[in-house]
Amino acid sequence: MSSASNKTEQSLYAKREKIYPREVHGRFAFLRTLSVIILLGLFFILPWIEMAGRQVILFDLPARKFHVFWLTFWPQDFLLLAFLLILAAFTLFFFTALAGRLWCGYACPQTVWTDVYLWIERKVEGSRIKQIRLDKADWSLNKILRKLLKHFIWLLIAGATAVTYVSYFTSEKALSHGLFSFQLGGWELFWIGFFTLATYINAGFMREQVCKYMCPYARFQSAMFDNDTLIISYDEKRGEPRGSRRSDVHTDYKKEGLGDCINCTMCVQVCPTGIDIRDGLQYECIGCSACIDVCDDVMDKMSYPKGLIRYTTQHAVDGKPSKILRPRIVIYFVLLVLFSSLFIYSVSQRNIIDLDIIRDRNQLYRETSGLIENIYTLKLINKDSRNHEFNINVDGIEDLILLIDRDSISVESGTVYDLPVRVRAKEEDLVGRSTVIHFTISAMDQTGLSIKQEAKFLGPNP
């Protein structure tokens, strides 16, 4: 095998080297920290907040009810879910085309939890240099204790994350009771174990590997970029040629043929994915802006202008004018507004009651007392936040007879009421093998609250 093929094979299957990102401070680091605090706060606090006697967010899969603040969604509201998914997609497209990978750098769960794990690692093992020295050192009591403490805290956070995540699908009260009384069900135990392990491995060990090799977003982001997209870029014209120099000796480095980059490699040391931003835009870059903060700090110490690494556009780097408002941005924005409006309209106009009609499958029809009889089960869903009293009517065939065992039905908030009914008609009034009839459900305690649904009334061939 040739030496070239050997090099290729080695690069493809090289063992991962651990990255030790240096701690960085600055305006973008502050924004990332603020984003982590807000997102984690919402994630851990929301299951404990109640509204109308229930969690503000609860995806009750066994009951097929999805509570989101004051709204309750049902499987029949699938169109609203489609709107939400489309809305999320266009939001991602819009902000990516406008300012690059903002989601990856500031809001992605992988980034958020990895930042928390990195912060714990620094608190337990020390700075970047101390971590490298500790990993290279021989095993000692100090090293064992530090490693055990770090992994113990990581596992605690992973467990808390898993329990919180499951509490969005199982009532927090029921989950807490089952957890502390050791009476959790099999599925709850499985998912808590699964997400504990997933969080521990992804944020503690895989880290940048998830972004580089598992996340599809890094692969198709280039389709949403153009030369006017804000990206993190190194100003090669200003920075090259690189060269080290003393900060306390102010010589004319330009005459010496040097650019502003002092080749300190700080931008590489703070990068969570281990890339060198000076090599140009790379798919591994998650847009966290850590390199901007640390480079600005170095420029300050050297008394050079900031912005050697900055948010800019490819057109600006090439010395061309940039355009924020361009056809792609306008189209994404219009679609974003359109689908947001459709979602709001659909939610405001949706009927808070729903009706499913199920025919008796045991027999198509039966003859009784000279009449043709069909049997149905009416499933009435009350999506409202309060109980309602309903009455039922049927029409579509002359002299229809509706047989039920009560004059009205009371349906509690957020429940499904099953009501078997029988409908009879004269054979001579049927227009064919199948005749359309309509059930109308009307609330007795609220004017205008009603729903009309059609069904098939079957009879013998005419």
Looking at the predicted structure, is the pLDDT value of residue 7 above 50?
no
Q: For residues 352 and 72, what is the distance between their CA atoms, to the nearest angstrom? A: 9
Q: What angle do CA 108, 69, 102 make, to 5 degrees?
A: 20
Residue-wise DSSP of 173-214: HHHHHHHHTT---HHHHHHHHHHHHHHHHIIIIITHHIIIII
Least trusted range by pLDDT, from 73-77, 189-193, 438-442 = 73-77
Q: Which residue has the tokens 């004059």?
A: 407
User: Confidence band (pLDDT; 50, 70, 90) for 249?
Assistant: low
Q: For residues 225 and 219, what is the distance between their CA atoms, to the nearest angstrom? A: 12
Looking at the predicted structure, is the pLDDT value of residue 85 above 50?
yes
Phi, psi of 111 (to 5 degrees): -70, -45
Q: For residues 199 and 40, what is the distance between their CA atoms, to the nearest angstrom? A: 14
User: Confidence band (pLDDT; 50, 70, 90) for 258?
Assistant: confident
Classify burial at 54, counting beta carbons within 10 Å of its beta carbon; exposed 0-12, middle 13-18, buried 19 or more: middle
Which one, of 255, 151, 136, lies nearest residue 205 by Cα? 151
Phi, psi of 433 (to 5 degrees): -60, -35
Q: Which two tokens stand for residue 356?
A: 């499913």
- The mean predicted confidence, pLDDT, of the chain is 85
Looking at the predicted structure, is the pLDDT value of residue 66 above 90?
no
409-411: strand order across its sheet: 409-411, 388-395, 434-443, 450-458
Least trusted range by pLDDT, from 64-78, 100-114, 257-271, 355-369 = 64-78
Instruction: Report the pLDDT value the prediction gives residue 14, as an integer from 0 to 100.
Output: 54
User: Confidence band (pLDDT; 50, 70, 90) for 146?
Assistant: very high
Q: Which two tokens stand for residue 344?
A: 């709001």
Instruction: Report the pLDDT value the prediction gives residue 36, as an integer from 0 to 100.
Output: 94
Instruction: Report the pLDDT value the prediction gives residue 10, as an integer from 0 to 100.
Output: 43
Instruction: Report the pLDDT value the prediction gives residue 15, as an integer from 0 to 100.
Output: 67
Which segment, 137-146, 432-441, 449-458, is predicted with the most confidence on average? Answer: 137-146
Q: Mean per-residue pLDDT for 306-335?
A: 87
pLDDT in tens, 201-236: 999 998 888 888 888 877 777 677 888 888 899 998
Top pLDDT among 131 and 173 is at 131
**Which residues lie across from 409 on neighbouring strands?**
390
Question: Residue type at 258?
Answer: L
Helix, strand, coil distribution of the chain in percent, nearest 5: 45, 20, 35
**Which residues lie across from 234 on neighbouring strands?**
309
Q: Which two tokens stand for residue 376?
A: 């149905």
Phi, psi of 379 (to 5 degrees): -105, 105
Looking at the predicted structure, is the pLDDT value of residue 430 above 80?
yes
Q: Which two tokens stand for residue 134?
A: 């500790």
- How many angstroms separate the Cα of 276 from the Cα of each of 234, 273, 308? 10, 9, 14
User: Confidence band (pLDDT; 50, 70, 90) for 1?
Assistant: very low
Least trusted range by pLDDT, from 20-24, 36-40, 144-148, 214-218 = 214-218
Instruction: Report the pLDDT value the prediction gives residue 8, as an integer from 0 to 100.
Output: 43
Instruction: Report the pLDDT value the prediction gives residue 182, as an integer from 0 to 100.
Output: 79
Instruction: Report the pLDDT value the prediction gives residue 462, as an integer from 0 to 100.
Output: 65
CB pairs under 8 A, 24+ apart, for 150-157?
A: 150/120, 150/121, 150/124, 150/125, 151/204, 153/120, 153/124, 154/117, 154/120, 154/200, 154/203, 154/204, 155/196, 155/200, 157/113, 157/116, 157/117, 157/120, 157/199
Instruction: Report the pLDDT value the prediction gives residue 6, as an integer from 0 to 100.
Output: 46
Instruction: Report the pLDDT value the prediction gives residue 248, as an integer from 0 to 100.
Output: 67
Instruction: Report the pLDDT value the prediction gives residue 257, as an integer from 0 to 100.
Output: 81
Least trusted range by pLDDT, from 118-132, 161-175, 261-275 = 161-175
Instruction: Report the pLDDT value the prediction gives residue 109, as an integer from 0 to 100.
Output: 92
What are the start-end ranges of the H helices in 282-394? 290-301, 314-317, 327-349
Instruction: Report the pLDDT value the prediction gives residue 13, as an integer from 0 to 100.
Output: 45
- How many angstroms separate the Cα of 315 from the Cα of each of 59, 177, 233, 260? 46, 59, 11, 21
Q: For residues 133 and 146, what is the distance between their CA atoms, to the nearest angstrom? A: 13
Query: What percent of the chain is predicted at pLDDT more than 90?
Result: 29
**Residues with Cβ < 8 Å from 376, sequence gap 6 or more?**
357, 358, 359, 360, 420, 421, 422, 423, 439, 455
Where do the domains of the chain lie, and which CATH numbers do they carry?
17-349 (no CATH), 353-458 (2.60.40.10)
Three-class SS state of 251 = coil
